[in-house]
Amino acid sequence: MTQAQLSFVHRFQAGENTDRPPVLLLHGTGGNETDLLPLGRLVAPGAALLSPRGQVLEGGVMPRFFRRLAEGVFDEADLRERTHELADFVSEARAAYGLDAPIAVGFSNGANIAAAMLLLRPGVLRGAALLRAMVPFAEPPQVADAAGQRVLLSSGREDPIIAVDNASRLAGQLQHAGIETTHHILDAGHGLTNEDVALTRDWINASF
């Protein structure tokens, strides 16, 4: 399908199964709008796929969805602004392509902005698979109503970037906001594994 001219550079692939909710794919640092399309086809066969490119360039070359001040230290003001921009893009894309509210599948930086969107803009997403996510805000925002949303959080026990206790704290924040959260801690590092793929596919099939 021809890509609509929207606020984010993106790829859209129409779904073959209109009963499946669309999937919003959010790449990690240095990725782009094509990186997670194969993952989307694996975890949600037949679903429509929407994959934007982050609009921040780290070091002038690596796309991200928001700025960071150092490894694991986020520019929270920028994160809030970029989260609202991404949520607005999702609304644009839904109108342009005739989509229902999507499930997000995000990796690393993409998972972090998906977590921020769940907290700042509840209702934009039906749920999210957060693969290697960490706490996005030092003080979580007050969420008006996030009930009915579901989250899969998949962490690596040997992840050198995200400590397991940080990911567990994120799970607690999401649960406190009323989001049904399933947290798996895998024998893995920061990179994705076949187990992540299988867990995400099974979670989407069971939850949606």
Whether residue 5 lies inside any domain: the answer is no
Q: pLDDT confidence of 131, banded at 50, 70, 90?
A: very high
CA distance 119 to 34: 26
Catalytic residue among 51, 154, 155, 159: 159
Give the bridge partners for 49, in sequence order: 13, 23
- pLDDT digits over 147-185, tens only? 778 999 999 999 999 999 999 999 999 998 889 999 999
Predicted confidence at residue 72, as pLDDT, reads 81
- pLDDT at position 2 over 70: no
Any catalytic annotation for residue 190?
yes
| CATH number, domain with residue 27 | 3.40.50.1820
Tens-digit pLDDT profile for residues 46-87: 999 999 999 999 999 999 999 999 888 899 999 999 999 999
Q: Which of 108, 155, 183, 196 is catalytic?
A: 108
Whole-number pLDDT of residue 169:
96
Q: Is 88 a catalytic residue?
A: no
Domain that holds residue 195: 10-207
Mean pLDDT estimate for the chain: 94
Residue 146 lies in a domain: yes
Domain assignment present for 2: no
- What is the enclosing helix (H) or strand (E) of 71? none
Share of the chain above pLDDT 70, in %: 97
The pLDDT of residue 122 is 87
The answer to whether 144 and 137 have CB atoms below 8 angstroms apart is: no
Note the pTM of the prediction, 2 decimals: 0.96
**Which residue among the candidates 78, 184, 190, 207 is catalytic per the annotation?**
190
| 2 CB-near residues (< 8 Å, 6+ apart) | none
Query: What is the arithmetic mean of pLDDT over 122-131?
Result: 95
- Distance, in Å, from the CA atom of 87 to the CA atom of 156, rounded to the nearest integer, reads 27
Q: Give φ, ψ of 24 to 5 degrees.
A: -95, 115
Identify which of 136, 102, 123 has the alpha carbon closest to the alpha carbon of residue 10: 102
Assess if residue 3 is contained within a domain: no
Q: Which residues contact 75 (CB under 8 A, 6 or more apart)?
A: 66, 67, 68, 69
Is 108 considered catalytic here?
yes
The Cα 90–Cα 97 span in angstroms is: 10
φ, ψ at 184 (rounded to 5°): -110, 130
Total domains present in the chain:
1
